[in-house]
Amino acid sequence: MISCDTQSGLIPFEEALQRLLDSASCQVATEQVLLAEAAGRVLAESPIASVSVPPADNSSMDGYAVNLADIQGETRLPVSQRIPAGTPPQPLKPGTCARIFTGAEIPAGANSVVMQENVKADGEFAVFTQCPSDAENIRRKGQDIHVGDAVLSAGVKLRPAELGLLASVGLAQVEVYRKLKVAILSTGDELMEPGEALGPGQIYNSNRYILTGLLQALDMEVVDLGCVADTREATLDALRKASASADAIISTGGVSVGEEDHVKGCVEELGQLDMWKIRIKPGKPVAYGHVQGTPFIGLPGNPTSTLVTFCLLAKPCLQQLQGATYAAPLQLNIPAGFTRKRAIQRQEYLRVKVEDNRLVPFSNQSSGVLASASWADGIAVIPPETMVSPGDFVAFIPFADLLN
């Protein structure tokens, strides 16, 4: 197990992420699904286009298809055919023009389309006052996709644009990875479920709902093993069930150093702990390992730590287990609207809003304050040992990118 770094004994974030990515390979089989049911799934094939898109040159405007050779100065041409979208055109008769509509195929013999606002319609004739340029308003065959091209690559998540691309080449079904099954367990004797009465020393279990929401947004299947008591036996039992019923395991709480923290020890008993303690705030005690061969990530119990570490570390790992290609989250550099005089050893993730193009942190950055994450637009990344003055550029990762 590696948990070392020169002074602090913590693993730098980039190294921890790289270790997770290096060890996480696809864990799931593939299946065929109808395109209409494929939203959010991860593509398991690289489909080849059997048609070009568009399949023929077509008009991008309502107007008149012409041959440029027929237009010199002001020109009056007879309209020899009408071509709505969906109707195959006849070749353009020399010395004539064709009434054409957006999306309709360009007739053979035409090499430009003049939009109707620039043409005077005169009964069976059209009068052109300016000379159009070559190929004006013509969308070329294959400008989007060429026949024989790979439309998308395996590993891509199917969002609306990708679904549209697959539909545009006529695919009615696609091969995707089966949804990754992720077991979640919430450790802690103090946890009660919403709806139950709260006794002394108890708190409501919020991590269970944070994780369920995060996993559903990733289109993964949640195997919810509920709350686990802070005992070795209960933790071993839950981890065994989790490994038997899921492709990956995420726990919250119980990964720190106290004797009530059983998770790490139990993971070691049932498999191995590969990594523990990362140089980040919040989220230092994140643990990674395998339980009877099933990948395991232990997230810290503080709800904001759970949310942030899931997004930054667990999500990339789970996505690779799901067969998806890893893509680093969008990171923008935005001027700080705050001062940070105290540099700390850990890389810190502040929950911030963007106001007047300045990053403004939530007033209480405690990892127990979940309201900070609900209030924020995203997180500002402050590298280790770094102070910040107003106007300094700081990396900002929007939740819009992190949470789906």
Ligand X SMILES: Nc1nc2c(c(=O)[nH]1)N[C@H]1C(S)=C(S)[C@@H](COP(=O)(O)OP(=O)(O)OC[C@H]3O[C@@H](n4cnc5c(N)ncnc54)[C@H](O)[C@@H]3O)O[C@H]1N2
Residues of the shown chain interacting with ligand MOO in the complex, contacts defined by CB under 6 A: 281-284, 300, 302, 305, 367
Q: How far is the CB of 303 from ligand X (least distance, A)?
A: 5
Piece of 105-113, 203-211, 218-226, 391-399 that binds ligand X (CB under 6 A): 203-211
- Scan residues 246-285 and list those touching ligand X (CB under 6 A): 252-257, 261, 282, 284-285
Q: How far is the CB of 260 from ligand X (least distance, A)?
A: 7
For residues 174 and 100, is the Cβ–Cβ distance under 8 A? no
Binding to ligand X by residue 206, rule CB under 6 A? yes
**Start-to-end CA span in the chain (Å):** 31
Pick the closer one to ligand X by CB: 205 or 243.
205
The tokens describing 110, both together, are 């035409």
Distance CA 296, CA 288 (A): 6
- Three-class SS of residue 180? coil
Pick the closer one to ligand MOO by CB: 59 or 367.
367
Phi, psi of 126 (to 5 degrees): -130, 135
Q: Residue 404: which of 315, 320, 323 has the closest Cα?
A: 315
Distance CA 400, CA 296 (A): 26
What one-letter code names the amino acid at 370? L
The tokens describing 26, both together, are 């696809």
Cβ-closest residue to ligand X? Answer: 301
How many other CB atoms sit within 10 Å of the CB of residue 170?
11
What is the contact mask toward ligand X in residues 129 to 168, using x (rule: CB under 6 A)?
Answer: ----------------------------------------
Distance CA 94, CA 113 (A): 15
The interface partner of residue 112, options being ligand X, ligand MOO, none and the CB cut-off 5 to 8 Å by kind, is: none
**Residue positions counted in the chain:** 404
DSSP states of 220-249 as a string?
-EEEEEEEE-SSHHHHHHHHHHHHHH-SEE
Binding to ligand X by residue 69, rule CB under 6 A? no
Q: How far is the CB of 298 from ligand X (least distance, A)?
A: 7
Pick the closer one to ligand X by CB: 285 or 289.
285
Binding to ligand X by residue 292, rule CB under 6 A? no
DSSP 8-state symbol, 354: E
Binding to ligand X by residue 198, rule CB under 6 A? no
Q: How far is the CB of 283 from ligand X (least distance, A)?
A: 6
Q: Residue 218: which of 324, 306, 90 has the closest Cα?
A: 324
Binding to ligand X by residue 301, rule CB under 6 A? yes
Q: How far is the CB of 375 from ligand MOO (least distance, A)?
A: 18
Distance CA 395, CA 390 (A): 14
Pick the closer one to ligand X by CB: 71 or 227.
227
Pick the closer one to ligand X by CB: 319 or 367.
367
How many other CB atoms sit within 10 Å of the CB of residue 366?
11
The tokens describing 98, both together, are 């064709």
Pick the closer one to ligand MOO by CB: 179 or 346.
346
The tokens describing 63, both together, are 């107007």
Binding to ligand X by residue 191, rule CB under 6 A? yes
Pick the closer one to ligand MOO by CB: 43 or 297.
297
The interface partner of residue 319, options being ligand MOO, ligand X, none and the CB cut-off 5 to 8 Å by kind, is: none
Hey, which bits of 266-306 come out as E strands?
271-276, 280-281, 287-291, 294-299
Q: How far is the CB of 246 from ligand MOO (least distance, A)?
A: 25
The interface partner of residue 118, options being ligand X, ligand MOO, none and the CB cut-off 5 to 8 Å by kind, is: none
Pick the closer one to ligand X by CB: 11 or 191.
191
Residues forming the site for ligand X (CB under 6 A): 186, 188, 190-191, 203, 205-208, 252-257, 261, 282, 284-285, 300-303, 305, 367-368
